[in-house]
Amino acid sequence: MKSRQVLLVARPVGAPKPSNFNLVDVDVRDPGPGEILVRNIYMSVDPYMRGRMNEKQTYAQAWQVGQPADGRAVGEVMTSHHPSFPVGALVVSNLGWREHFVSNGEGLMAIDRALASPSAFLGVLGVPGFTGWYGLKEIGKPKAGETLVVSGAAGATGSIVVQIGKILGLRVVGTAGTDDKCAWLTKDLGADAAINYRHGDLEEQLRAACPKGVDVYFENVGGAILDAVLGLVNPFARIALCGMISQYNLEAPAPGPRNLRNMVGNRVLMQGFIISDHMKRYPEFLHEVGGWLKTGRIRYEETVVEGIDRAVTAFLGLFSGDNTGKMVVRLGLEPARSGSR
Amino acid sequence: MKSRQVLLVARPVGAPKPSNFNLVDVDVRDPGPGEILVRNIYMSVDPYMRGRMNEKQTYAQAWQVGQPADGRAVGEVMTSHHPSFPVGALVVSNLGWREHFVSNGEGLMAIDRALASPSAFLGVLGVPGFTGWYGLKEIGKPKAGETLVVSGAAGATGSIVVQIGKILGLRVVGTAGTDDKCAWLTKDLGADAAINYRHGDLEEQLRAACPKGVDVYFENVGGAILDAVLGLVNPFARIALCGMISQYNLEAPAPGPRNLRNMVGNRVLMQGFIISDHMKRYPEFLHEVGGWLKTGRIRYEETVVEGIDRAVTAFLGLFSGDNTGKMVVRLGLEPARSGSR
């Protein structure tokens, strides 16, 4: 059968351009013994993919020029010769930017549609949510009453961190790039304050929002926000470095935070982390955050872009802040929910 | 009796100047019941004191304008009405820049002259050595075969870190500001390589000296060296932030490291620490490093400046790298070693 997939055809220098990618038609073979054919329904675009477009390998394997981009997707099993993945099952894969694929099941995870809608397994119940949960709890080590700042707070990970922060009894301050996102953070997600980093003096706004200083910082952005937070850190503050989206498209690294020396006197801990090191905690996360989702203590938003031909647009939109919550690309229709559940 | 002490008379802006201080004559009263009179023999000048000259309190209490500077000193008990501190005992105090003082014994620590010379309790067996030992072991968590970089490696703390690093089986690379210091690091202290940060391309030199990247960084300096190290960090590297002497005299903070984003992908831990939080570990340190000192596995150097009238000169010399090893000011003669020990 015919299917489409996105290739990386040239490594971007600075900000990626549509010409770095190509959408091609491919033949998908029939699944053999022990294999399944999957039709992807949603695929994920995430900021970390920018690093994979570079030649130099970071923690995730670099994409190869001329080869398909990959990443998380959720799809439906269409043909099955594998007992663990029957026809109709929904599976999360890590093969990304393609409409169909054949697999022997390795690396696939069946998901429970009763817990949440399929796309949620790319966001709130997937890697972004897991990342936020782990980083806040294990690196941030928050205590009720402390002040938590979250940058990129309206993003897939940030929006979960904000809500877990509130559940844990923290004062939560989020930063985002539009007034609408800020309103969503305070009105819908319960943040105590939200700062539009595009307006006014960031340090001044942050100081006003954090009258008792900053105890925990969850970092998704880097640059000026990190610097401003370092100017306000309390003794024994913890900084979870999840990402630095402001830096990924720079051709040459920008100068870093001026206030780094505050880390000495205030005994600040800063820890970079990558969630793939901690996958054994995923069931615990799924249990806790899945529970909060069911009882309505955690909510989530998605920005859905339609069609694999717009996958690159969706990816590039991450860097201009086009998304509120998780950015996903819809590749096909969700199957009807069957039966009596 | 008459004695002399150094007052802070104006808060420095940027680099301190001699005019920020004044040496004054004071009357020292006779010790009352339960009190002792101490004659200081050596006083310590340390980079962290620069922070205490600012109005804003950091972790250590700000010095008050018009009041005596303080800090560690080692002295001899001259008159005693206190059973724990007999005449002739040597004591470490934290009252610093003065020739004599009267005390009820609070905060004083008697030292064992059999272990090392009195001035060593301000350096290798004092706060600087303790700081290096704790930061390397507890934050650096070094494993044999790893690469350790130490900035300010020829200083009081750095030179101990270098040697403990070798004892623990690491490849050790130190940075210092003169060729003589570099030669001392490699020839006398056993460092595998030493880099004069004033010569040539720092990043290139560091890359050449660390062919397997950097696993542990002990930071005394900040600025360009931190940036260069962040360009070479290995996955799961640990950075102990002990101090940033390059930053203390800046009137406005300088831009920070460009390579900070490497902390995410490489899951780097950076931890500021202040040794006064960990004083309960001092006996353990004294046992271990004291033992290494006795067996000759650790050696130390001192730069001795004579006379309290040159204390300010000695302090300012820390920022121009005048010291190799610990900078101390000798205020008086050591007592003769008595008897049959």
pLDDT in tens, chain B (341 residues): 999 999 999 999 999 999 999 999 999 999 999 999 999 999 999 999 999 999 887 777 899 999 999 999 999 999 999 999 999 999 999 998 999 999 999 999 999 988 899 999 999 999 999 999 999 999 999 999 999 999 999 999 999 999 999 999 999 999 999 999 999 999 999 999 999 999 989 999 999 999 999 999 999 999 999 999 999 999 999 999 999 999 999 988 888 888 898 999 999 999 999 999 999 999 999 999 999 999 999 999 999 999 999 999 999 999 999 999 999 999 999 888 764 43
Q: How high is the pLDDT of residue A340?
A: 42
Which CATH architecture group holds B2-123+302-330? Alpha-Beta Complex (3.90)
pLDDT for B200 equals 87
User: In the structure encoding, which two tokens stand for residue B111, read together?
Assistant: 């030292």
Do residue A272 and residue B257 have CB atoms under 8 angstroms apart?
A: no
What local confidence, expressed as pLDDT, does residue A338 receive?
60
Chain B residues touching A51 at Cβ < 8 A: 265
* CB-closest option in B241, B261, B273 to A247: B261
CA distance B157 to B44: 13
pLDDT for the residue B207: 97
Cut 0.90: pTM above it: yes
CB contact under 8 A, B253 and A258: yes
- Residue B324's Cα: distance from chain center in Å? 11
pLDDT at B340: 42
- Out of A248, A256, A267, the one facing B260 most closely (by C-beta) is A256
pLDDT in tens, A196-218: 999 989 999 999 999 999 999 99
| Residue segments in chain A with a per-residue pLDDT below the cut of 50 | 340-341
Name the closest residue on chain A to residue B260, using Cα atoms: A256
From residue A325, give the alpha-carbon distance in Å to each of A154, A334, B305: 6, 20, 62
> Which of A257, A265, A271 has its CB closest to that of B269?
A271
Q: Tell me, what's the pLDDT at B308?
A: 97
For the stretch A45-75, pLDDT in tens is: 999 999 999 988 777 789 999 999 999 999 9
Domain range annotation of chain A:
2-123+301-330, 127-276
DSSP A13: S
Fold of the A2-123+301-330 domain: Quinone Oxidoreductase; Chain A, domain 1 (3.90.180)
- CB contacts of B140 in chain A (<8 Å) are none
In angstroms, rounded to a whole number, what is the distance separating the alpha carbons of residues B268 and B236?
5
Query: Quick check: A244 and B261 CB within 8 A?
Result: yes
Is A226 part of the contact surface with chain B (CB cutoff 8 Å)?
yes
Q: Inter-chain contact A266–B255, Cβ cutoff 8 Å?
A: no
Nearest-10 crossing angle of helices B158-167, B282-294: 70
Helices (H), chain A: 49-52, 127-134, 158-167, 179-183, 202-209, 224-230, 262-265, 282-294, 311-317
- Look up the CATH number of domain A127-276: 3.40.50.720
CA distance A222 to chain B (A): 8
Name the residue of chain B whose CA is nearest to A242's CA. Answer: B264
Helix (H) or strand (E) holding A218: strand A214-219
Distance, CA of A121 to CA of A111 (rounded, Å) = 8
Q: Is A62 on the interface with B (CB under 8 A)?
A: no
Between CA A129 and CA A52 the distance in angstroms is 21
- A83 shares contact with chain B (CB less than 8 Å): no
Separation in Å, CA of A246 to nearest CA in chain B: 10
Alpha-carbon gap, residue A160 to A135, rounded angstroms: 11
Burial class (CB in 10 A: 0-12, 13-18, 19+), B278: middle
